[in-house]
Amino acid sequence: MRNRLTETARVVGGSRPPSPQSWGDRTCRMLAVLGVLFGGFAICPPARAGEAPPQAGIIVSIRGDILEIQPAWLTGHQRLLVDPKTPVIEQSEVPLAKIPVGARIVCYGRGDLKSGLTAFYIAAGDLRSEGVDKQKLIGVMNSQWGVYWGGSLKSADPLVITDDAGTDIKADVRSGSAHYSQPASMDDIIIGRKISYESDKTNGGIHHVTSLAIESTPGKAGVVFATVVSRKARTLTVVPRFGSTPVDIVVLAKARVQRQVTLDPDHVAVGKTISAWGVPAQGGGHAVVAYALMSGAKMFPIASSDGPDRSVVGRVTSLEPFTLRDAKAEDTVLYITGQTPLVDIAPSSLDKLRAGDPVMLLVSKAPGGATTTDYVLVDASPILAFAFAD
C-alpha cells in the first residue's frame, strides 16, 4: 500500500493565472473610475507612482516555507515562497494623531498646492509596501489615480508634511486615520492573516516573495506551528515555525489538548472508511487536494466550514485514482502528494507537554494584549492547513 500511495501521488496544478500586475492594473483602473463617479477619489492607492498595488490575499495554508493564499482579485489559490531574508512588515489602521512626528508618510488624494489638497488615503511608517520607500518625495506628483505627496510628518492636526526638499505641504483629510506599517517578523505569519506581497520570480507557479506586509487583524484566530521551549503552569513558551524569538502563549482553562498519531499507509485499503481534508482541486468537480487523511469517519479539529478547505468522509472504492464514495453515493477523487499523512487524533493533556514537542496552536489576542490558545495539537504535521477566511 505504501508504494501504491506513492506511485499514485499527484501534484495538482492548473493553468497559470494572468499576470498579477495586469490584473491589478485593470482592477485599480476600474476602482479609480468608480471613485471619480462616486466622490472623485481613488479607492485603491498605487504601490508606486502610476503602478498597481502589490498583490494581496488571505493565508489559507502553510507548508514548510510555502504560503498558500486566496488572492484578493483572482480565483483559485497562489503559492508563495518565503525565506529568512524576506522583509516583513505589519500594517494596521491607527488614528492619525498617534503617528509619531517625523515618521515617513505619503498621502494619496486630489487637488494642488494652489487650490488646496485633500488626502483620501494616508500611509505612514515603513513604506515598502507602498513602493515609495526609496523614492524622493518632492512637491505634489501625479499618478493614474490622482495626486500624491509625502515626506516627514510635521503635524497631524492640521495635517502638515515636510517633503524631501524641505517644503511644508498642508492638506485636508477625508479620514482621521492612517495605514501605519511597522517592522514585523516571521513569527507573525499565521493562517487567516491578510497579506500583500511583491515577488521577483516564479518557479513552477510558486512566486518568490521579496517583501511581505501583514494586515493587522486584532482578535482574529489564527494558527501557529511552533516548538515548545518550556511550560510554567498554563503558560507555554514556544518558538514559532518561521521565527527564532520565543513567544509566551497562555493556554486557556477550556483548551483542548490532543496528539496527532501517524498511521501506517497500509491501513488504507479498498472498502475502508477514510476521512479526507484538503481544498477543492482547480477546475471544480468532485476532486480534492488532500492535506491529510484520517482513519474512520472523523472530522479534523477546528477545520473551518467557512473557508476554502473541505472535509470528505467515505468508503475507498479505488486506489488509482484514489476515490471515496460518501453516504450519498457521490464519488470524490483525492489527489495525494508524498507529504499527505494518514493520521488519527488521540487525547492528551497540558501536563504531558515537554520541551522540544512540535505543536500546532489556535491562537487569539486577548483584550489586554496577551496571546492565548484554546486548542493545542501535539506532533502536528507541519503541512496541515487549518483555514480561516473572511
Which of 252-256, 285-289, 325-329 bottoms out in mean pLDDT, i.e. has the lowest?
285-289
In Å, the largest CA–CA distance within the chain is 78
pLDDT at 54: 66
Buried b (16+ CB within 10 A) or exposed e, 147-172: bbbbbbbbebeebebbbeeeeebebe
> Which three-class secondary structure state does DSSP give residue 267?
helix
Q: What kind and span of H or E run contains 32?
A: helix 20-37
pTM for the whole thing? 0.52
Spatial CA neighbour of 62 closest among 291, 236, 215 = 291
What count of Cα atoms within 13 Å lies in the side-chain half-sphere of residue 345?
Answer: 20
Spatial CA neighbour of 184 closest among 126, 135, 133 = 126
Number of Cβ within a 10 Å radius of residue 259: 19
Which of 85-94, 171-180, 300-309, 336-345 bottoms out in mean pLDDT, i.e. has the lowest?
300-309
Q: pLDDT grade, residue 36 (50/70/90)?
A: very low
pLDDT at 133: 80
Question: How far apart are alpha carbons 49 and 26 in whole angstroms?
Answer: 16
Average pLDDT of the segment spanning 99-103? 94
Residue 26 has pLDDT above 70, yes or no: no
Question: Is the CB of residue 255 less than 8 Å from the CB of residue 373?
Answer: yes
Torsion sign, CA atoms 145, 147, 149, 153? negative
Question: How far apart are alpha carbons 204 and 226 in whole angstroms?
Answer: 28
Q: What are the two backbone dihedrals, phi and then psi, of residue 20, each rounded to the nearest 5 degrees?
A: -55, -35
Cell of 196: 500583500
Higher pLDDT: 200 or 14? It is: 200
Q: Does residue 321 have a cis peptide bond before it, meaning omega lies within 30 degrees of 0?
A: yes
Pairing of β 55-63 and β 273-280: unpaired
Residue 61 has pLDDT above 80, yes or no: no
Torsion sign, CA atoms 349, 354, 357, 359? positive
258 alpha carbon, distance to own chain's centre: 25
Pairing of β 168-173 and β 116-125: parallel
Residue 11 has pLDDT above 70, yes or no: no
Q: pLDDT grade, residue 74 (50/70/90)?
A: low
Beta strands in 233-305 (DSSP E): 235-240, 247-262, 273-280, 287-295
Q: Identify which of 215-219, 221-225, 368-372, 385-389 has the greatest average pLDDT.
A: 368-372
Average pLDDT of the segment spanning 186-202? 78
Mean pLDDT of the chain, nearest integer: 77
350 alpha carbon, distance to own chain's centre: 29
Give the 3-state secondary structure of 155-187.
Answer: EECCEEEECCCCCEEEEEECCCEEEEEEECCHH
Question: Is the CB of residue 332 less than 8 Å from the CB of residue 5?
Answer: no
Higher pLDDT: 265 or 48? It is: 265
Torsion sign, CA atoms 147, 150, 153, 154? negative
Pairing of β 177-183 and β 116-125: parallel
